Chains A and B, each alone.
Chain A
């Protein structure tokens, strides 16, 4: 046993898979200890906030301010609102309006702005311009307001009694705050999803739940597969026929369709995470049964088994003591594969809308489902779905790598 374990851990593939899997597991366990927020808590008013560092504006006005003289601050400021594309568009509009082309220098911000402010009129209808383009120019004009200003902002508070604005502060264009000194700063490494939830926290919780579901489903499937396979393989005869018949029946009815039907039938109310795991387990034990049965059949005529039979040991004793140890490694590998496919099956179900209750637990499939419903993949909100895919792939990849490694240890022929 110890020797086998040593061999297992020396196998490179197993090791790599194991490391990845452990890393994910540790993340799932340790992260919630540091970040205690409710993974399903809605923190954003709005959908799909981009990943980044969110600084409370109100608090930053109240934080200590420092003056920094940076060379390109003004250029950055202008460029963020007036990029190359915008300059080109302004030039186009001005030409349409009738300003001679050689008077327009798009690199000279001041003269361009002067021409623009003097000539732009949102009520003018340029023939052939689409409504969308016209609205774009209106928005552009509004966004360019005050772009060349050098004055800062005045901060005022409304006076309760008089209703006037009393000035309480002034912000210069050179004032900076230190993010560490602002009272409320929230880092959202993966932004928010469509509900306004913190993606990273939700993702970690979801991986945990999916792992749990996979484990339960895998265990159930392997248990059923193991018992049925042992019985069918060892006892044989009519029991074998019946079990094989049931197995064939399950093969023939598409398991995914069965899964969908059952999932739909038990209704949303009962569809907790564990129930789904049980349902997945109950529909995917087929190939384990077949494989175990094949192994057992080849084992049952071995010498040591015959010896036990002659010695008068009971059937149960023979199965447990003589057959089980020989297929243990095989069963363990099957378990790993079942866990992996259980996770994928749950993800598949959730994506179709038949997974566990959305708002009790987050699962990987559910997160994908919501992201797709709110068209995240179409609108380029990659943080809402891509990390989920990577998480699923990594989990199942690591499990399968471990499985391959084990395979190589138990079947020396496959070693490279």
Chain B
């Protein structure tokens, strides 16, 4: 009897659930144009004219001597090809930014992070500012063509910008406050007009300049077709996977699924014209196997299945020193790569005692940076003795922008326990109650050192910071919350949970090092909510704000050096945060089993080590040779 009751009850519940599912769907948006990511190479129509896809000729496996294998960019299945979308998960093909990836979509200029130059790609020659520094003008190369044969015109550039603004794409929203319009003076000439402030000056000329080497140019005709297909709806437009894209780059899509992504070269690529590269890129296929994790990619690199690896490979030098494999990095010795960013430990200036500069400096001085670099980064970073600390990254371009001699005595090297102790003693911060820890007004100095769980090199660094604290009588304990939790706390400008916490910094780009100075110290970010921009400790300094406002409008090199030197001086005196190591934007390890003549530090070509796809580093694809 009881059992029957239960039986009926459960049936009722199940039926009611079934009934509930029959009601019309509520306002939950279903993504439009949901298509599976898998394609059949044999049956696919050529995406655009000019790409010869006689897939029948192509064996089930890619010819090894025509394929360049890249690893470390794509970690899960590719989603789309849409340059307006925010999440395509198409690491090789759609990744705009300071060094935009240009195998498929192209930008007017390519950024070279080694020397900060901007090299024309779609553009013809250098760009020019007008005298008031409110407009940039550049021309489009005559030879530049879309893959469907039509020429790239200034109209395309203008329409791309208009679309970005109208549909509030990442680029549109990001640059919308700094760029007023992009206009086509004539079919070959583009004028980018900056937004003006009350005085008639450009709000931020640096960011206006950044736009033309960071964002793609999209064909007007194709964009219009996309708009129609999406019904002029912003969400639909941005979610469209854009399988039928028309781009201007040397490669186009060939095949992708859960396990790999393959691009094939477009032999009609306009860039083989003498006004640009003069030849086609050497590898016919660009392939990226989707590895589950770092170790899988590392094993594949060792086995020769990967040619270019963008992964942090611990102790990578053992591969050629001990195993004798034909693997190299950018440089033969430590730091092995070209570092560009400064992972930084921020002080929460609201925490008790951290508002005192002596405490901040003492902790920063005491940390053993050499061990951090040797153990956490396995020496893939220059030490602070080799590149003294500042707000600049170690590249020649940025280091030239400040006067190192002027701030030399502010640049501490680390592991200075004595100095730190002396500093604290002088400031009157001693252990007054005999519990072994220093205190201020009777309250013990105790902090947590935080970074996300699983970020191994950062965790190792935090350990060493905590150990330093112990040496100087300040209690520091480590804390590793999950990434999902960490990034809800540190972006809250009013949080009091984390005292010392690690965040990345900006790497190399056309707006650097100004962007980094702003990120670290600009008061516009202090105390805000949902803050992904910077200054997470809440530091406020009006003088720095003035410097930040002045730099973008300054063209005089000498004045720039003065400003940057002053910014560095303020940074090293107030110490709102301190950098723990240097880190490359992209790691770069190459395997010479099949290909050779990769860009390297000493080869004189000045091609940046950015996996042969980012910005000017794509030049590397044109110089590859096969190993005989």
Chain A interfacial positions (CB closer than 8 Å to B): 42, 44-48, 128, 130-133, 135-136, 138-139, 194-196, 264, 267-269, 353, 357-359, 370, 372-375, 377-380
Contact = CB atoms under 8 A, between A and B. Distances in A.
B592 A130 contact: yes
B310 interface: no
A299 to B, nearest CB: 27
B463 A136 contact: no
Nearest to B625: A128
Given A132-B326, A378-B298, A267 B313 contact: no
Interface residues of B, number: 47
Given A131-B596, A131-B598, A269-B479, A375 B328 contact: no
A132 B463 contact: no
B480 A357 contact: yes
A199 to B, nearest CB: 14
A42 B371 contact: yes
Which 8 pairs, one residue from A and one from B, show the smallest C-beta to C-beta distance? A132-B326, A130-B592, A374-B314, A128-B628, A45-B374, A268-B480, A373-B456, A130-B596
5 contacts: A42-B375, A128-B627, A267-B481, A267-B482, A374-B315
A354 B628 CA distance: 48
B467 interface: yes
A132 B328 contact: yes
Max chain A Cβ within 10 angstroms of own Cβ: one of B322, B371, B464: B371
Contact of B375 (A45, A133, A372): A45
B295 A44 contact: no
Contact of A132 (B299, B460, B592): B592
B459 A47 contact: no
B294 A375 contact: yes
Nearest to B454: A353
B482 A133 contact: no
Contacts of B433: none
A132 B327 CA distance: 6
A405 to B, nearest CB: 39
B170 interface: no
Given A130-B596, A353-B453, A375-B295, 10 more contacts: A42-B375, A47-B314, A47-B374, A130-B592, A132-B327, A194-B460, A196-B371, A196-B374, A269-B479, A375-B298
Contacts of B295: 372, 375, 377-378
A268 B456 contact: no
Contact of A195 (B319, B322, B454, B463): B463
B491 to A, nearest CB: 18
Contact of A359 (B325, B454, B463): B463
B375 A195 contact: yes
Max chain B Cβ within 10 angstroms of own Cβ: one of A130, A194, A373, A379: A130
B260 interface: no
A42 B463 contact: yes
A243 to B, nearest CB: 16
Nearest to A353: B454
Contacts of B327: 132
B610 interface: no
A377 B302 CA distance: 13
B332 interface: yes
A378 B302 contact: yes
B185 interface: no
B181 interface: no
B550 interface: no
B598 A268 contact: no
Contacts of A370: 456
A222 to B, nearest CB: 31
Interface string B568-594: 000000000000000000000000100
B9 interface: no
A306 B322 CA distance: 75
B627 A130 contact: yes
Contacts of A136: 320, 324
Interface string B287-311: 0000000110011001000000000
Contact of B464 (A42, A139, A375, A380): A42
B370 interface: yes
Contacts of B592: 130-132
B446 to A, nearest CB: 15
Contacts of B379: 46
B482 A264 contact: yes
Nearest to A238: B2
Max chain B Cβ within 10 angstroms of own Cβ: one of A42, A269, A378, A380: A378
B297 to A, nearest CB: 10
Interface string B319-343: 1111011111000100000000000
Contacts of A379: 314-315, 318-319, 322
A375 B313 contact: yes
A324 B627 CA distance: 76
Nearest to B331: A135
A44 B370 CA distance: 11
Contacts of A44: 375
B378 interface: yes
Contacts of B460: 194-195
Contacts of A133: 326
Interface string B474-490: 00001111100100000
B459 to A, nearest CB: 7
Max chain A Cβ within 10 angstroms of own Cβ: one of B302, B314, B327, B485: B314
B600 interface: yes
Contacts of A195: 375, 460, 463
A130 B463 contact: no
Contacts of B370: 45
B371 A358 contact: no
Nearest to B486: A268
B481 A268 contact: yes
Contacts of A264: 482
A48 to B, nearest CB: 7
Contacts of A131: 328, 592, 596-598, 600
Contacts of B596: 130-131
B299 A47 contact: no
Contacts of A372: 295
Contacts of A48: 315
A139 B321 CA distance: 9
Nearest to A128: B628
A375 B315 contact: yes
A141 to B, nearest CB: 13
Given A130-B326, A372-B295, A358 B480 contact: yes
A259 to B, nearest CB: 15
B488 to A, nearest CB: 12
A378 B299 contact: yes
A96 to B, nearest CB: 13
Contacts of A380: 322
Given A47-B378, A128-B628, A357-B480, A42 B314 contact: no
A47 B375 CA distance: 5
A188 B464 CA distance: 22
Nearest to A136: B320
A374 B456 contact: yes
Interface in B349-401: 370-371, 374-375, 378-379
B313 A359 contact: no
B320 A132 contact: yes
A359 B478 contact: yes
B244 to A, nearest CB: 40
A264 to B, nearest CB: 6
Interface in B15-50: none
B315 A47 contact: yes
Contacts of A377: 295
Interface string B124-139: 0000000000000000
Contacts of B597: 131
Nearest to B375: A196
A128 B332 CA distance: 20
A139 B317 CA distance: 13
A60 to B, nearest CB: 23
A194 B481 contact: no
Contacts of A132: 320, 325-328, 592
